[in-house]
């Protein structure tokens, strides 16, 4: 499993949160509703079957946004497919008794009407400017009433048709309801970490502890080796001292062994034995 982006994690978190609010919020999990509220197109139509086609409708001032809108819609649907394959969500289909006409259209049905015969939209609240001013043409000039009571010219740019089989994916997922599974809730509750990631983290902690213990033991052994070697060097280089009692014993042993030539013993850092000058200069008779 790959690491999700922050935006993807936020979407998973949002889906899990909506599910926790209960069945009364189930409509918020409709893919079609999410598409219509999260993306800025005026209308999205897809024709499925043997000749799949996607059509995007935008207001005249937003006609240059079509390409980016299409990419964003693809990213969203493919992400839903990925979550389904990972076991994060399931897609529940909405049963309908409507006739299968081979296409579906997403738009704000509370404000607009779609005429499939001429493939055009009309606002529910409008005035026909053509009836208010003299005009030789029978064509309607629709002025849409906005929420603030102001009327603006209603212009929908020409639909951008894209002939790709992605329309079949839209038919499969676009009319379904996203049901977040327990695995998604577990992922969110554990700071966006999957079971595999958490298991891997635990293994890494154990490995790091073992490595740390081994490193500590090696350091202790190395220090012990240094101390042992240092003590040996100290013993080899330090001057050897002989106690005064030992010197007296050596002197007594020399005299008792009847050494012919007189000697004297000096106590320094080491034992020095040399002829006694006073005795040599004044020899005594035996």
Q: Is residue 251 within 8 Å of residue 260, measured between CB atoms?
A: no
The whole-angstrom distance between residue 284's C-alpha and the CA centroid of its chain comes to 104
Of 78 and 93, more confident:
78
Q: Is residue 272 within 8 Å of residue 254, measured between CB atoms?
A: no
Residue 143 lies in a domain: no
Question: 122 φ, ψ to 5°?
Answer: -140, 135
pTM as predicted: 0.67
Asked if residue 118 has pLDDT above 50, the reply is yes
Asked if residue 85 has pLDDT above 60, the reply is yes
pLDDT at 82: 96
37 with 168, same domain: the answer is yes
Question: 44 φ, ψ to 5°?
Answer: -130, 125
Asked if residue 273 has pLDDT above 90, the reply is no
Q: Is residue 270 within 8 Å of residue 246, measured between CB atoms?
A: no
Alpha helices in 123-165 (DSSP H): 129-132
Tell me the C-alpha distance between 41 and 270, whole Å.
104
Asked if residue 34 has pLDDT above 50, the reply is yes
Asked if residue 101 has pLDDT above 80, the reply is no
Please state the rounded mean pLDDT for residues 98-114.
Answer: 86
Q: Is residue 157 within 8 Å of residue 60, measured between CB atoms?
A: yes
40 with 167, same domain: the answer is yes
170 with 46, same domain: the answer is yes
- Which structural domain range is residue 261 located in? 244-281
56 with 176, same domain: the answer is yes
Residue 115 lies in a domain: no
Of 181 and 212, more confident:
181
Element (H, E) at 128: strand 126-128
67 with 170, same domain: the answer is yes
pLDDT band at 236 (very low <50, low <70, confident <90, very high): low
Residue 207 lies in a domain: yes
pLDDT at 231: 60
- The three state secondary structure string of 60-79 is HHHHHHHHHHHHHHHHHHHH
Number of domains in the chain: 3
Tell me the C-alpha distance between 58 and 67, whole Å.
11
pLDDT at 191: 92
pLDDT band at 285 (very low <50, low <70, confident <90, very high): very low
Of 193 and 137, more confident:
193
165 with 183, same domain: the answer is yes
């Amino acid at each position: 499993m790959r690491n999700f982006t922050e935006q993807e994690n936020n979407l998973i978190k949002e889906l899990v949160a909506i599910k926790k609010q209960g069945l009364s919020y189930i409509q918020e999990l409709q893919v079609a509703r999410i598409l219509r509220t999260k993306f800025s197109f005026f209308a999205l139509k897809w024709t499925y079957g043997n000749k799949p086609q996607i059509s995007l409708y935008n207001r005249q001032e937003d006609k240059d946004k079509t390409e980016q809108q299409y990419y964003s819609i693809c990213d969203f649907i493919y992400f839903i497919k990925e979550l389904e394959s990972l076991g994060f969500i399931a897609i529940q289909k909405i049963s309908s008794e409507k006739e299968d006409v081979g296409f579906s259209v997403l738009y704000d049905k509370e404000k607009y009407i779609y005429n499939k015969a001429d493939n055009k939209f009309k606002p529910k609240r409008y005035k026909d400017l053509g009836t208010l001013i003299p005009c030789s043409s029978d064509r309607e000039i629709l002025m849409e009433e906005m929420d603030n009571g102001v009327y603006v010219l209603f212009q929908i740019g020409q639909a951008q048709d894209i002939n790709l089989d992605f329309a079949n994916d839209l038919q499969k997922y676009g009319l379904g309801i996203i049901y977040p599974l327990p695995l998604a809730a577990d992922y969110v509750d554990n700071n966006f970490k999957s079971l595999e990631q958490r298991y891997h983290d635990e293994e890494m902690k154990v490995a790091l502890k073992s490595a740390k213990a081994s490193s500590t033991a090696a350091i202790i052994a190395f220090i012990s080796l240094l101390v042992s070697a240092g003590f040996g060097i100290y013993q080899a280089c330090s001057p050897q001292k002989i106690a005064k009692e030992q010197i007296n014993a050596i002197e007594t042993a020399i005299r008792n062994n009847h050494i012919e030539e007189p000697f004297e013993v000096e106590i320094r850092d080491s034992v020095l034995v040399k002829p006694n000058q006073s005795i040599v200069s004044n020899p005594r008779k035996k």
